[in-house]
Chain A
Amino acid sequence: MRINPNYTPDILTDLWQAQAQEQIAIQELATGRRVNVPSDDPAAAAQDVQNQALQRQNDQYLQNTSNLESLFQTTDSALSSVVTALNQAISLGTQGANGDLSAAQRQAIALQVQGLQNQVVQLANTSYEGSYVFGGTATQSPPFTLDPSQPSGVRYDGNTSVNTVEVSPGSDLQTNLPGSQVFQGAGGDVMGALQQLITALQSNNTAGISTATAQVNSALSYVSQQRVFYGTAANQLNSNQSFLQKEQVSLQTQETSLVGADMAKAATDLSRSQTTTSATLAALAQILPQSLLNYLK
């Protein structure tokens, strides 16, 4: 039987194939990726798009978490200072309720309490990155202003709205309490109690001072309760952060199994295709000079 005498195209095709495989293996080893263009594995490439998006989203949730952590720290330290100020007001009130004091001495104490009132108003106007944290969602101007015409001595210009931020897929975290709730809540009116204490001290009303001091006391415990909200939220952020970090690891693992190269396999492929190439070349070198003409002298 006659066979095709021109076998070079076949051998060249084999060579090209081996060389193409060599290139693929080298690319896998160099990039560490098995899927370098969608046609390498269309389904995996499409899933990789989703995976990358989830990783970036996860990064953003982590970013949100750390932004909120700073916000909560600022807020909590403001409230902690309020608690300190209220404790001082209580001891001043207790001092002022002492029957031995003169009216002038009570006036002096009233001045000190006014100082504390100023301090609390300032704390209630704490801002974080240019936004007032106790203004509800009206964050652009200071929510509290001293205003003698108000019964509590203070005017609230904020609103009662709250914000929420998504900190992990589908989980929203409330990020603020409106100042009206924190400082003028039904359970304890900080501003009202302080104003009442000042008025009682100024009017030299011993019984009034005791009542007002008791109210400052209950306002203090109320504010402490409000602080719990921020403490809980900070805890939630902590556990959220470790959840997100685990999620990140699992997404990265997923990415590797989707599009990552199996290095051992790629290295084996490389040496196999190299062997094929050199074997083909060796065969070619042996076959090409073979001809009847070699034997006719």
Chain B
Amino acid sequence: MGSLTSLLWMASQALGADQGALDATSNNIANQNTPGYTREQAVLTEASPTIAGNITYGTGVVLQQIHSVRDQVLQLRIGEENQQQGGAQAQYGALQQIQGLFSDPTQGIGADFTAFFNSISQLSTGPSSITNRQAVLAAAQQLAGDFHSTAQNLDSIQAGVNQSVQQTVTQINTLTQQIAQLNLQVGAMQKLGQDPGNLGDQEAQLIQQLSQLTNVNQIQTENGLTLTTGNGTPLVVAGQSFALQTTNGPAGMTDISSQGADITSSLQGGQLGGSLQIRDTMIPGLLSQIDTLASQFATSFNAAQASGYDLNGNKGQAFFSDTSGAGAASNLTVAITDPNLIAASSDGAAGSNGNVANLLAVQTQALPSGETPLNRYASWVSQMGTLTAQAQAEVTASTASLNQLNDQLGAVSGVNLDEETTNLLNYQRAYEAAARVVTTVDTLTQTVLNMGAGVTGAL
């Protein structure tokens, strides 16, 4: 059966519970704009009733816990999407720079080829003119110069990407260290069935940042999370983080290793994966195509030059330096400096332009790679354009998808001020009412005490 004392006890329980709920509400309001904050909810339950005879008395309210309203699955999806976005953004950034090298149709290697062959065509109208011959040499210098600068620009873009690889690795190491520290505490709390609250928010937020950088696998163990890279290299196990090491590999590129094993080629996804793809596959591939073009063009033009005679009546000697293999584009140089050495003549006479047709044929005939020099260049333009457009579309798509996922997560975990204000009023009223109960019980107790005093007074 109920007693005044139990009433008082129930009221004080209610005051405590309401205060706890007000705490949660106040924390929510305070953190409404904190990135990664998950709203808290006070979990109120009825206290177990007491039964006396056939009457069941309620015993008030219990504040069971304050728990953060999370959605683990959504958070995992957001991690994946972050990784997509990070990768696409890294690629898009680098590809924009690369396509810039091929974006002006009136300049660069493609336009130089046309200008060079035009100067040779001009030479056919006055094969012994020194002015015409010098124009050919100048156009050839321009062409070789643009081969150099294109290769050099690609090299420096590659070096820039390499630098961002190093920075990304440093960021990853900082993040895994922070995550490991939090993970220890979060794991311990979870083991005890406690809600990790704000610590959990911080950890989740850091993991999202890590996902932007690389592909992260999460495994929930009883000691907290285990984080690994896509191919299983551990990053964080319980309270321990495993730093990635960087070493200088061949050609000045940074290799990434974990505990002595080189894992560079297995890293995918995120900014790191995107940068590595550009640095190790995309740019070297393009550079080798440019080298091949430089070398095949030089060989084929030299052959045409050798089939004719120069202004002095001698067999045409090599026009371009013989280059092949890696670095051919950077090594391409015009081997002759004397304009008289251009082999325009087919019969040894100075006024003959009979070999010009052979020189011009290099423009229209397919090189051993299967395309004419200009077509080769045009196909780079289309390749770079397509890759950049794809990366751009991927960035747009993953951003849209991230927005949508964040909307979904916000619907679950976001702080709604109207809701919090309503809760605030509710709990305030409840608190006031519970306080009133205390006053009432106080009055009742007075009454009971006065009851005895009245009897005494009557005596």
Chain A residues near B (Cβ < 8 Å): 1-6, 9-10, 13, 36-43, 45-53, 56-57, 59-61, 63-64, 67-68, 71, 129-132, 135-140, 159, 161, 163-166, 172, 175, 291-293, 296
Contact = CB atoms under 8 A, between A and B. Distances in A.
A38 B385 contact: yes
B379 A163 contact: no
Given A42-B382, A42-B389, A56-B115, A37 B354 contact: no
Interface stretch (B220-228, B249-257, B402-410, B433-441): B402-410
Contacts of A292: 417-418, 421-422
Contact of B349 (A52, A129, A161, A291): A161
A136 B128 CA distance: 13
A37 B99 CA distance: 7
- Interface centre among B113, B115, B410, by most chain A C-beta atoms within 10 angstroms, is B410
A147 to B, nearest CB: 21
Nearest to A46: B382
Q: Which 5 pairs across A and B sit closest by C-beta, in order of nearness? A: A38-B385, A139-B351, A42-B385, A4-B410, A137-B352
Contact of A137 (B106, B345, B410): B345
Nearest to B127: A163
A45 B105 contact: yes
- Interface centre among A38, A60, A61, by most chain B C-beta atoms within 10 angstroms, is A38
B322 interface: no
Contact of A138 (B125, B351, B385): B351
A135 B385 contact: no
A281 B113 CA distance: 51
B88 to A, nearest CB: 13
Given A49-B110, A131-B126, A9 B403 contact: yes
Given A53-B114, A64-B124, A140-B350, A4 B406 contact: yes
Given A37-B103, A39-B392, A293-B421, A71 B125 contact: yes
B106 A52 contact: yes
Interface string B371-407: 0001101110111111011001000000110010011
A163 B386 contact: no
Main secondary structure of the interface of B (DSSP, over half): helix
A46 B103 CA distance: 10
A281 to B, nearest CB: 19
A54 B335 CA distance: 28
B103 A137 contact: no
Nearest to A66: B125
B301 interface: no
A45 B128 contact: no
Band of interface residues on B: 35 or more
A39 B103 CA distance: 9
A5 B417 contact: yes
Contact of B105 (A3, A49, A291, A296): A49
Contact of A38 (B124, B382, B415): B382
B177 interface: no
B445 interface: no
B129 interface: yes
A41 B352 CA distance: 45
Contacts of B407: 3-4, 10
B128 A140 contact: yes
Contact of A64 (B105, B125, B379): B125
A9 B385 CA distance: 30
A50 B389 CA distance: 21
B403 A10 contact: yes
Given A40-B385, A42-B382, 17 more contacts: A2-B412, A4-B411, A10-B403, A36-B103, A38-B381, A38-B384, A39-B95, A43-B382, A59-B118, A130-B129, A131-B126, A137-B349, A138-B349, A163-B124, A165-B121, A166-B124, A166-B360
Contacts of B379: 46
A49 B114 CA distance: 10
B303 to A, nearest CB: 20
Interface in B415-434: 415-419, 421-422, 425
A221 to B, nearest CB: 28
21 contacts: A2-B411, A3-B407, A5-B414, A5-B416, A38-B102, A39-B384, A43-B382, A46-B379, A50-B374, A52-B106, A53-B374, A56-B111, A56-B115, A57-B114, A64-B124, A67-B125, A129-B129, A163-B124, A164-B353, A166-B124, A296-B421
B357 interface: yes
Nearest to A169: B364
B412 A41 contact: no
